[in-house]
Structure formats: C-alpha cells, structure tokens
Amino acid sequence: MVKLVSRGLVLAAVLVCSFASAQVPLIDGLGGTAGFGADCLGRNDDGSSREISLTSVFPTGIQFFDEVHTSMFVNTNGNITFSDDLASFTPEAFPVADRPMIAPFWADVDIRGTACAEPDGGTGFAGDCHNPTSNGVWWHLDTEEQRVIVTWDRVGYYNCNEDRDMSFQLVLTPAETSACGTGGDFDVEFRFNTCEWNTGDASGGMNGLAGEREACFIGICPINPLFPCMGGTCGGIAAQSGFDAGNERDFVEIMGSRTNEIHTILCTMSNVGEPGIWRFQIRSGVVVCPDAGEACDTGMMGVCGAGRTQCVGGGTECRPEVESSDERCDALDNDCDGMVDEGSLCAADEICDRGVCIGNCFEGGCPAGEVCSEATGRCVDEGCDGVECPEGERCRAGECVGACDGVTCPAGLSCRGGRCVDLCAGEACDDCTACVEGACVPRCDFEPCEAGQACADDGRCVDAGCESMTCPAGQACVGGACTDACAGAVCPMGEICQVGECVPAPMPDAGVPDSGPGPMMDAGGGTDAALPDAGVPDTGVDASRAVPRPDQGCGCRVPGAPSSAPSPLWLSALGVLLWRRRRR
C-alpha cells in the first residue's frame, strides 16, 4: 500500500502541543529483550502478524459478537482482528463492514524509525522480529496467568516520525472465573501509558495531531492553513478506540474517537476510575457498556429533563426517565413544552393555581386545612396564600414540597417527576445482569442476596418465599404471599391506585356521574368513609380530599381533569457496563 502526502509549503507548526501521560505501567517481565514477550513485528508500516492461535489461553476460543474465534492477527496500526489481518491506516467510523476488530488505538502507526528503514522481510511478520528496544509491537500468550497481552511500546506515526510516542497495551483474559463467566466469555483491558499523537501524515494530520476539523474555503483551511484540504474538509482523521463486529451493525466506541482529543482522553480518563485504564466485559459475544445508568440532563424541558444514560452503538445517550404526557394541574411541565399547568386542567368552576385545582370559597367556608384567600376568593391550603414555589413544587400547609414528597408508590414502582413509574420498563439487561430500580446489576446467581431474600429466576433478589411466585395483575409478592400492590399506596395528586398503578382520578364534576354520599374508594380498591386512602393519613398530595359537611356545599377540591394514562415509560440501565446493539 502506497501512502502519499503532499504539502505545497512547509512552515513552522502553529499547533498547540497536547501530550498526555497516564503513568499507567505497562505489563512487562514477559520475556524477550524488551520484556513484552519473545514475539514481535519486524520494522514495517501497515504490516501484520501471521495468524496467531489463541487456544493455549482460550481452549474453546472467544465469542466476539456473532462468531467464535480461535486465532487473531496483530496489526501494526493499533488493533487486533480475527478473520484476517488489516492494513488500513486511517480509521473508518464504526461500524465497518470488514472484519471483527478490537482496537485500543486504531491509527497510522509506523515502526520503521526515523531512518525509514526497509521493512524486515517486507511484511513485518512475526518471524522477522528483531526485538527492538522501543518503537515496536509485541505479543505474549501467558498460559500461567491465563491472559493474552499485546504491546505497542513508544510507537511513532507515519511517515517515520518518532518525535511523539504512543505506549499502550491490550489484555485479553478468560472470564470463566468472573461473576458471569461462560464458555467464550472474556474480559478486555486497554492500558495507556503515554499518549502524544493521534494521527499520521497520510491521514491529514500535522506533527502527529489531527487539529480541529473545518470546511475548506477555496482549497484552503481558514483556521489552520497548514493542514491539507481533503475532500472539502480540513484537519486530519484521528485515532479510533473501541470494538467493531465487522457486520455494519454492532460496535462500541470510546467517546472522543476520531477527534483531536482522543489521545488525551485515553490517557487521562477511564471507565473504571483509574486514568489510562479502560475495562470491558464480553458476555455472550456482547460488549458490556462501561457507563450506563448514570443520572444525566437530557437538555429537554419539564419532566423530560431528568434522565439516565443508556448505551447505544458508539457510546451512551441520555434518555429521559419520564416521557412527556398530557398536561395536568400539578405544578409540573408534563408535556415538556416549557410551560407549566397551561390549558383547561380543572373542572368548570375551578382553576389551576400553583399545581392545585381550587374553587371559589362557598359562603366564606373551605374544607378543613384550607383558608379562603382574600386576594382571589378561592380556597387554598392554610399558610399558602401568597406563597410562590419554584417550578416543579407546590405549596402544602405553608411549605413548598416536591412532586414526589409524600408519595408512596404501589409495589414495584418508583416516583419520578411526580409520576409512579416502573424504572425497568423497556430495559433489557444482558445475560449477566438483572434490572433493579432502573439499573442493570449482577444477577443474584453470582452475587448472594441479603438475609431474608432469595434469588428469583429473573436474577433479582426478592423476599424469601417469593422466588417462585407469579402473582396476578395488580398484586405483588410480599413475604411469600401475593398482596394488593396498591396497599398503603399514596399516589401523586390527581391520581388513584388501581390494579397496581397510579392512574388519573375520575372527576365527579367533569362529566363523571357522582357516586353520591356513599364511601370513597380507597387506594387499595376497598372503601373507607373516613379516610381517602385505606389506612393511610391524607398527606394532601394524592387524589382525594376530606369530604365537607353537607351544609358547606361543594367545598371539596376536585382532582385534575381526566387525561390519558401515562404513556409507556422506559429508562437506561447501570450498572455498570451495559451495551446495546445499534442498527443502521
């Protein structure tokens, strides 16, 4: 393969140097003159090893995406491949329909040295190795420690440049002894010691750096005129780090890949809290993503703003914990349009005031716990007249409270953004993890449960006696018995609990026939003439209100107008390391 780089004018570099050193030691003591093993590549550019058997460490091979592999190829350009060798020096954006690849640092590595010596044997095959003291590529199959280690030590970049170095390693370890090890499962570690360049001259780089990409203007790069104009765009194509299945579909990429910051990111950041160290699990062929399930800001408005990271294709995306829904009178921006409590949300004779439907004072009287506002002539909670609360909060008994304050969701649900939602709805964890409160955690098959709990078939820890129980809809297993999931629930204001879910409450003054003076429905579906919730004191945040005396007239507070049930809710995972396929 011939690589040509043309520059009409050579001037002093105007680039800002960006060196990064993680000080992560490379694993050595493996033999050979450099300590990284006896097998290495000879001097070459874009060369590869011969096919290397993995069976001494992985007797049955490794499962990587949809295939099981028993051999690998070590490529000069910062990666290993499984079905064939790879000479490509400019990284293509994953996914690549070529061959399965694990790439700590796919870029244009050149190990010929400043003299641009002819390749040993012309190909860089293992038999041509002369064990250089630096600027070399080694591999070692450690049968005692059961690991495969590939090392790129102080390697330079094309064309025969050694003024900046990259030192990094790839370590593959069988997972039979890990928490969820099965045949073909393995762990991957990237170790970065020195990170000083990110691209070669033939990939549009200059002095080892890609620079910021920009559009060309009349064939010239306006910001960095020294960079070549390639395909209408200035700036080079920097290294890529991650995993590719070679099927145009499945891949995982470390953030910042193919940007001018990737070398700094690899040395100074981490997915395990140790700068320069990146660890991944491959389970049933799937790369488990490193940082899913973290709280994040989606950038959306209203209840859609709070989110969790979810692994998708090349990295993580921040997905909202609560989807948009019809607006309700609850001091929240439910439809995520930037406005709170807009529209006709209450009964005909009421208005939505600071998250609560309130009516006119009837002959100066209001229900217990409320007073008649002199300013508006409407009933408000005692102490709340004139109180203004921040967005997302409402005034109750003179204090501003959050949308989930005082809410006790039905069994199996959690309160988010004033809604009781299933945090695991739509979440698909891998074979090694189970979803618990929105996070993918190790299955209890491998992590023991706490006292009083047992491991269920789905991998979650449940109450002892519930591991084999299947309860009807609207019920949950507690202490080995199926019970009403609504028992003890206090739904968000304007909702009642039915069949294990909080749903909009009917409005007796908004077209729904009034059931008369009989007892009110409680949270569990039973009746209680004295309390709006079965056995649970009224906190003022659920759908019900105390019933006034007959001589007071209709002084009760009516819940919000009917709306459709909340749309299906979904979340991202945590755990630690969840990955999902991306389809283009």
Q: What is the pLDDT of residues 321-365, one digit of tens each?
A: 888 888 888 888 989 999 988 888 888 778 887 777 887 786 657
Q: What number of helices (H) and strands (E) belong to the chain?
A: 1, 41
Q: What is the pLDDT of residue 495?
A: 85
Mean pLDDT over 443-455 rounds to 82
- Confidence band for 51, pLDDT divided at 50, 70 and 90: very high
- Confidence band for 578, pLDDT divided at 50, 70 and 90: very low
Q: Which residues of 192-214 are buried (b: 16+ CB within 10 A; e: fewer)?
A: bbbbbbbbbbbbbbbbbbbbebe
Range among 129-138, 158-167, 206-215 rated most confident: 158-167
Q: What is the pLDDT of residue 312?
A: 60
Report in angstroms the alpha-carbon separations of 382 from 25, 352, 378: 66, 17, 12
- Confidence band for 53, pLDDT divided at 50, 70 and 90: very high
Between 488 and 435, the higher pLDDT residue: 488
Q: What is the pLDDT of residue 248?
A: 81
Cα separation of 312 and 292, whole Å?
9
H or E stretch at 359: strand 356-359
